[in-house]
Amino acid sequence: MFVLSTTGRDLRFPPVEQASPDGLLAVGGDLRPERLLEAYRHGIFPWYNGNQPILWWSPHPRTVLFPEKLHISRSLDRTIRRRLVAVTLDTCFRAVMEGCARPRPQYPDGGTWITPEMTEAYARLHELGHAHSAETWIGDELVGGVYGVALGGAFFAESMFTRVDDASKMALVSLVRQLHAWGFRLIDCQQSSPHILRFGAEEIPRRKFITRLSEAVRLPDRRGKWVFDVT
């Protein structure tokens, strides 16, 4: 197992091909912005709970949503057209992360890996213009959202939450449509789930993912506060 140092300037990760069969690549290190961006740029992400050191993953296969292949069910499309909620970008990033971090009783482990350390790290990425959120509102109440990291033409979707039916789905759909309009090449969903597959995500070999990712991250970054320019 490759162990990362918490000191020094060497932020390099081992080649993703060295990951274990379940995708574990390295352990240790820290969540400073430079290391996180280096990880995402090479198809690696942190995922661990508060009782573990930082664990870094690059699973095979990889689940990816290509924006042009977004699928919206008829029932969700009807809900979106009713415009019962408002959707915004980058208005309350930390609140979205906190919503995603709340325990989920339906899962044995509570369903969350978003530690306070991770919240602070991604909030810093947001301040630097690399991490973004989409939020859904009913009046002044935040009822759902999704957040992730953007590099070039790639968006790395991290987590989503909902407090009313379909609120997170509407945030995701609006975000994907906007990313498509901006020319983003792919949305990394990391691992497969029935939920994300229903939106048109697909599993692809890690080697193919890394190739597509390398092309996407060479595009210009869209940093700073995001605002919708499509509806």
Per-chain mean pLDDT for the chain: 94
SS3 145: strand
- Range list of H helices, the chain: 33-41, 74-82, 93-101, 116-127, 167-181, 194-197, 206-217
For domain 2-60, give the CATH number: 3.30.70.3550
**Residue 121 predicted with pLDDT over 80:** yes
Residues of the chain within CATH 3.40.630.70 domain(s) are 63-217
**Residue 105 predicted with pLDDT over 90:** no
pLDDT of residue 140: 96
109: pLDDT confidence band, cut at 50, 70 and 90? Answer: low
Beta bridge partners of residue 161, listed in sequence order: 145
Residues of the chain within CATH 3.30.70.3550 domain(s) are 2-60
Say how far apart CA 185 and CA 154 lie, in whole Å: 6
Contact yes or no for 122/158 (Cβ under 8 A): yes
Which CATH architecture best describes the domain 63-217?
3-Layer(aba) Sandwich (3.40)
pLDDT of residue 29: 94
Mean pLDDT over 123-148 rounds to 98
Task: Return the exposure string of 163-200: e unless at least 16 CB atoms fall within 10 Å of the residue's CB, then b.
Answer: eeebbbbbbbbbbbbbbbebebbbbbbbeeeeebeebe
